[in-house]
Amino acid sequence: MIHHISAEHLTVDRVREILENNIKIDLSEDAKKRIVRCREYLDNKMETQKEPIYGITTGFGSLCNISIDKDQLSQLQKNLVMSHACGTGERVPAEIVKLMLLLKIQSLSYGNSGVQLETVQRLVDFFNNDVLPVVFQQGSLGASGDLAPLANMCLPLLGLGEVEYKGARRPSDEVLKEFGWKPISLQSKEGLALLNGTQFMSAFGVYSLIKARRLSEWADLIGAMSLDAFDGRINPFIDEVHEIRAHKGQLTTARNFRRLLEGSELIARPKKHVQVPIRSAASRRYTVRRKIRSTMSAACSRPRLTARRTTRRSSPRRTLSFRPVISTDSRSLWRWISWLLLLRSWATSPSVVFTS
Q: Which residues form the catalytic set? A: 54
Q: Which uninterrupted H or E stretch holds 90?
A: strand 88-91
- Amino acid sitting at position 110: Y
d(CA 80, CA 59): 10
- In a 13 Å sphere around the CA of 28, the CA atoms on its Cβ side amount to 13
d(CA 233, CA 231): 7
Closest CA to 149 of 160, 138, 161: 138
**Sign (positive or negative) of CA dihedral 278, 284, 285, 286:** positive
d(CA 248, CA 313): 10
Q: Are 103 and 123 in contact (CB under 8 A)?
A: no
d(CA 72, CA 86): 23
Would you give the distance in Å from CA 240 to the centre of its chain? 36
- Amino acid sitting at position 241: V
Q: How many helices (H) and strands (E) does the chain have?
A: 14, 7
End-to-end CA distance of the chain: 32
Backbone angles phi, psi at 137, to 5 degrees: -80, -20
Q: Please return the burial class of 241, using the count of CB atoms within 10 Å of its CB with bins 0-12, 13-18 and 19+.
A: middle
By DSSP bridging, strand 136-138 and strand 2-5 are unpaired
